[in-house]
Chains A and B, each alone.
Chain A
Amino acid sequence: MMKYLSLIIILAGAYLAVPLQFGGNDYVIGIVVSALTIAGIAVAWAMLGNLGGMISFGHSAFFGVGAYGSALLAMNAGLPVFPSILAGGVIAGVVSILTMPTLRLRGPYFALAMLAFAEIFRILAIEMRWLTNGSGGLLSIPRLPTVFGFDFGSRLGGYFVVLTLVLLTVFVYWLIRNRPEGLALRAMHDSEDATLVVGVNATRLKAAVLVVSAFLTGIMGAFNAHYINFLEPDYAFNGSWTTLAIVAAIFGGYKTLWGPVAGALIVYLVDQFVFKAIMPSGHQLILGGLLAAIVIFSPSGLLPWLASRFRKEAGDAAHP
Chain B
Amino acid sequence: MLLTLDHVTVAFGGLVAVSDVSFSVSEHEVLGLVGPNGAGKTTLFNAISGLVRPSKGKMTFCGHDLTGIPIHKRARIGIGRAFQVPQPMHELTVRENLIVAQHFGTGHSNPGKIDEILDLTRLGHKANRDAASSLALTEQKALEVGKALATNPRMLMLDEVLAGLETNGKRAFMQTLDDARQRFGVALLMVEHDIETISNTCQRVLVLNFGKLIADGSPEEVFRNPEVIRSYTGGETA
Contact = CB atoms under 8 A, between A and B. Distances in A.
Contacts of A202: 72
Contact of B151 (A180, A193, A198): A198
What size tier do the contact residues of chain B reach? 20 to 34
Contacts of B89: 183-184, 186-187, 191, 194-195
Given A198-B104, A198-B150, A199-B151, A190 B72 contact: no
A199 B73 contact: yes
Contacts of A180: 99-100, 102-104, 109
Contact of B88 (A181, A191, A200, A201): A191
The list of the 10 closest CB pairs from A to B, nearest first, reads A187-B89, A199-B75, A180-B103, A199-B104, A194-B87, A198-B101, A199-B105, A201-B72, A191-B89, A196-B71
A197 interface: yes
Interface of B: 49-51, 70-76, 81, 83, 87-92, 96-97, 99-105, 109, 147-148, 150-151
26 contacts: A180-B99, A180-B102, A183-B96, A184-B100, A187-B89, A187-B91, A187-B92, A191-B90, A193-B83, A193-B87, A194-B89, A196-B71, A197-B49, A197-B71, A197-B75, A197-B81, A197-B83, A198-B104, A198-B147, A198-B150, A198-B151, A199-B105, A199-B151, A200-B104, A201-B70, A201-B72
A190 B91 contact: yes
A195 B100 CA distance: 8
A189 to B, nearest CB: 9
A180 B90 CA distance: 15
B150 A191 contact: no
Contacts of B103: 180-181, 184
Contacts of B88: 191, 194
A191 B92 CA distance: 10
Nearest to A194: B87
